[in-house]
């Protein structure tokens, strides 16, 4: 970070005030180009930390743009092949992707894992992994499928980031209700959320609020991370309570 630069000092102060970021534990390399574009590099502790850092960077006075080179620290270090194998298994087991063609890019070659054809096909996905970053290409039938695919990618051990480039065919108009509905389905899919029906989800201007009861702090954190990982979600307010035992 360029010492003394007021733009960088302002951003650093904002990051220090954001509890999800913790820049002292997860120090970022922050640079500023001559045309006032911020460059953010390094590892962060969670999806929430990454999105909040990007939001704070974009809101910094005099900044004209942000280049994101941040990655989320993986839950465990794994090679790209192992990540791809685990993610492929998640997709093949997921009920909502049973009628999708699934392909993977491995060592420069495309391999088809399952094929769906006909008028009732609900997607054609190409999955690749490079340096722990999962890329989802192709198309799906709905914005909900796009968001669910991203959730599966984030759940995969070793994943450091997700590039969700899936197109929705035919195109759909996104809205707050769509986000809430998609998150409800993601929570139902999540094996770490045993009682998803006890979680109430509401969304306003792409800010998600979680309310209700969960059985542990781990479940509370997991539900929040599921929300942060959804495509287009800008902020998560976690008001979940942990049930007394």
Q: Which of 50, 72, 94 is the last residue of a domain?
A: 72
**Can you give the pTM of this predicted structure?**
0.92
d(CA 139, CA 122): 8
Residue 118 lies in domain: 80-168
Instruction: Give the per-residue pLDDT at 3.
Output: 58
The structure tokens 């998150």 sit at 183
CB of 187 closer than 8 Å to CB of 158: no
Q: Are residues 30 and 109 in the same domain?
A: no
Q: Which of 20, 43, 72 is the last residue of a domain?
A: 72
Q: Are residues 195 and 152 in the same domain?
A: no
Based on the structure, what is the number of domains in the chain? Answer: 3
Q: Kindly tell me the burial class for residue 228, based on how many C-beta atoms sit within 10 Å of its own C-beta (0-12, 13-18, 19 or more).
A: buried
A 10 A CB-CB count for 225 gives 20
Q: Are residues 161 and 182 in the same domain?
A: no
Q: Are residues 99 and 150 in the same domain?
A: yes
Q: The tokens of 64 are what? A: 């004209």
- What long-range pairs does 27-33 form, CB within 8 A, spacing at least 24? 28/53, 28/70, 29/1, 30/1, 31/1, 31/2, 32/2, 32/5, 32/7, 32/8
Instruction: Give the per-residue pLDDT at 234.
Output: 87
- Count of H-run helices and E-run strands, the chain: 6, 12
pLDDT, tens digit only, all 245 positions of the chain: 455 789 999 999 999 999 999 999 999 999 999 999 999 999 999 999 999 999 999 999 999 999 999 999 998 899 999 999 999 999 999 999 999 999 999 999 999 999 987 778 899 999 999 999 999 999 999 999 999 999 999 999 999 999 999 999 999 999 999 999 999 999 999 999 999 999 999 999 999 999 999 999 999 999 999 999 999 998 999 999 998 76
* Contacts (Cβ under 8 Å, ≥6 apart) of 120: 99
Q: Are residues 210 and 151 in the same domain?
A: no
Q: Which of 153, 123, 119 has the alpha carbon at shortest distance from 138?
A: 123
Q: Are residues 183 and 158 in the same domain?
A: no
Q: Which of 113, 135, 168 is the last residue of a domain?
A: 168
């Amino acid at each position: 970070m360029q010492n003394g630069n007021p733009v960088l000092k302002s951003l650093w102060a904002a990051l220090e005030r954001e509890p999800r970021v913790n820049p002292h534990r997860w120090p970022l390399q922050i640079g500023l180009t001559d045309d006032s574009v911020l460059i953010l590099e390094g590892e962060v502790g969670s999806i929430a930390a990454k999105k909040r850092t990007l939001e704070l960077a974009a809101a910094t006075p005099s900044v004209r743009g942000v280049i994101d080179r941040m990655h989320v620290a993986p839950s465990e270090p794994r090679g790209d092949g192992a990540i791809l194998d685990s993610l492929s298994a998640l997709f093949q087991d997921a009920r909502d992707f049973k009628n999708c063609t699934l392909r993977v890019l491995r060592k420069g070659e495309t391999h088809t894992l399952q094929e769906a054809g006909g008028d009732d096909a609900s997607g054609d996905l190409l999955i690749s992994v490079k340096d722990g970053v999962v890329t989802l290409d192709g198309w799906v039938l709905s914005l909900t499928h796009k968001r669910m695919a991203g959730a599966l990618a984030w759940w995969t051990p070793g994943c450091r980031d997700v590039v969700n480039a899936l197109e929705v065919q035919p195109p759909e108009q996104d809205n707050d209700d769509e986000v809430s509905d998609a998150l409800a389905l993601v929570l139902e899919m999540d094996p770490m959320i045993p009682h998803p029906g006890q979680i109430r989800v509401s969304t306003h201007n792409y800010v998600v609020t979680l309310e209700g009861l969960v059985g542990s702090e781990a479940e509370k954190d997991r539900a929040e991370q599921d929300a942060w990982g959804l495509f287009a979600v800008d902020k998560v307010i976690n008001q979940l309570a942990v049930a007394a035992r």
